Amino acid sequence: MIRSILSTLVLLVTLASASQLGLMTVKQPLYMHGSDSDPEIEITDVPVASSGSYPESFFAAIHTPFTPPTDGSWKEPENVNMTSLYGIRVSAELDSAGDVELWKITVDASKAKQPEGYPFTVAQVLDATVTCVKIMCPYKPEDERKVTIKVVQPKK
């Protein structure tokens, strides 16, 4: 009886710690489609809430849609994250070899398409996405962390 109660408590504590919600800031390539300004992708800090693990959820948040809050003057707010709109996906995998962390980050543009009316090519948005990944990789000595970034090009 006591053994089953202890097992249940251990399970509940494990579940509680695994689902802890946190707030983080990630870089996303944003463009205000339809604005009167020159077409330009801005790499901007965007707040994201997540209960996923680090670095997996951290880099995957680059492709989450982002609709900025508005003061009401923007009547039809929409997703302004170019990575999300073009269908590019970012994933990360954490591995370790002894004392060295290995981050394997994949930027997958194999299913990317340029939405109608947008001025940027898939290659430009892919470049902006890879730039976001590189900016988000904190510097550490190579004997502590190694980062590889794999880019999957769009299908022609």
Residue 3 pLDDT: 54
Nearest to 120 by CA among 78, 68, 85, 155: 85
Residues contacting 69, CB < 8 A, separation 6+: none
- Determine the residue type at 133: V
Along the chain (156 residues), what's the average pLDDT of each consecutive run of 10 residues? 50 49 92 79 93 86 92 86 97 83 93 95 97 91 87 88
**In 3D, which of 136, 156, 155, 137 has the Cα closest to residue 146?**
137
Q: How many domains does the chain have?
A: 1
Per-residue pLDDT, 14: 43
- Residues 6 or more apart from 73 whose CB is under 8 A from it? none
Phi-psi region of 47 (alpha: psi -120 to 50; beta: other; left: phi over 0): beta
Q: What is the pLDDT of residue 17?
A: 42
Residue type, 155: K
In a domain, 15, yes or no: no
DSSP-derived 3-state class of residue 122: helix
Taking alpha carbons only, the member of 76, 78, 59, 82 closest to residue 68 is 78
Query: How many Cβ atoms from other residues are within 10 Å of residue 124's Cβ?
Result: 16
Residue 106 lies in a domain: yes
Whether 123 is in a domain gets the answer yes
Q: Look at strands 100-108 and 145-152 and give their pairing.
A: parallel
pLDDT at res. 19: 57
Residue 7 lies in a domain: no
4 is a domain residue: no
Whether residue 56 is contained in a domain is answered as yes
Domain that holds residue 117: 21-152
Tell whether 61 is covered by a domain.
yes
Q: Residue 76, class by beta-carbon neighbours within 10 Å (0-12 exposed, 13-18 middle, 19+ buried)?
A: exposed
The answer to whether residue 141 sits within a structural domain is: yes
